[in-house]
A and B are shown apart, each in its own frame.
Chain A
Amino acid sequence: DAKTTQPPSMDCAEGRAANLPCNHSTISGNEYVYWYRQIHSQGPQYIIHGLKNNETNEMASLIITEDRKSSTLILPHATLRDTAVYYCIVRVGGGKLIFGQGTTLQVKP
């Protein structure tokens, strides 16, 4: 599985969009980009995933660059409850998740 690089921390104002970047320059053609988040010490929660195309669901949008070497998770209107550690993971399919250190997002009033 390819390695990912994320900034250790970010701040965002409540109600504004939060844009969380992830670099995965060694991603291979059959690896998906996944995003999970962990609020405080709860179990990680799936957010979204994608292969090549941009994806959107009720929680977030995922923008993947054309060369697939980086991606951005977008929370369109961040709330205080979105304060969490966000993990970007690349993998082929079901099974093992390799977690990095993630990005701690602090949403401020």
Chain B
Amino acid sequence: EAQVTQNPRYLITVTGKKLTVTCSQNMNHEYMSWYRQDPGLGLRQIYYSMNVEVTDKGDVPEGYKVSRKEKRNFPLILESPSPNQTSLYFCASTSILGTEAFFGQGTRLTVV
């Protein structure tokens, strides 16, 4: 079954404690991205990757890092989380020439 898997689904952490949200896809897609969703602001792209070792900033990259060492994985790293990064996060993947984007189940992060 084609899917994008994020972990964890829920996370409560403290300010400044480094964390990683993992994302894995099983469709051999080239393009992967991270979005955050906040009330009134909708879904905004954080970072994206066109392929292995190729990443670039989206619309709201401050405070985040990503890596793409393998095609299937695209982790989101918060080196020093702050309360304004409390949000619902989604990972997505699609083939470069594809049409349908597949989204993960979401990770609800709370930073206190």
Contact = CB atoms under 8 A, between A and B. Distances in A.
Sorting the interface of chain B by its residue count into under 10, 10 to 19, 20 to 34 or 35 or more gives 20 to 34
A44 B97 CA distance: 19
A42 B94 contact: no
Contacts of A95: 31, 33, 48, 50, 94, 96
Interface of B: 4, 31, 33, 35, 37, 42-45, 48, 50, 58, 88, 90, 92, 94-106, 108
Interface of A: 32, 34, 36, 41-46, 49, 93-102
18 contacts: A41-B108, A42-B106, A43-B92, A43-B105, A46-B100, A93-B97, A94-B94, A94-B95, A94-B97, A96-B33, A96-B48, A97-B43, A97-B45, A97-B92, A98-B45, A99-B43, A100-B42, A101-B42
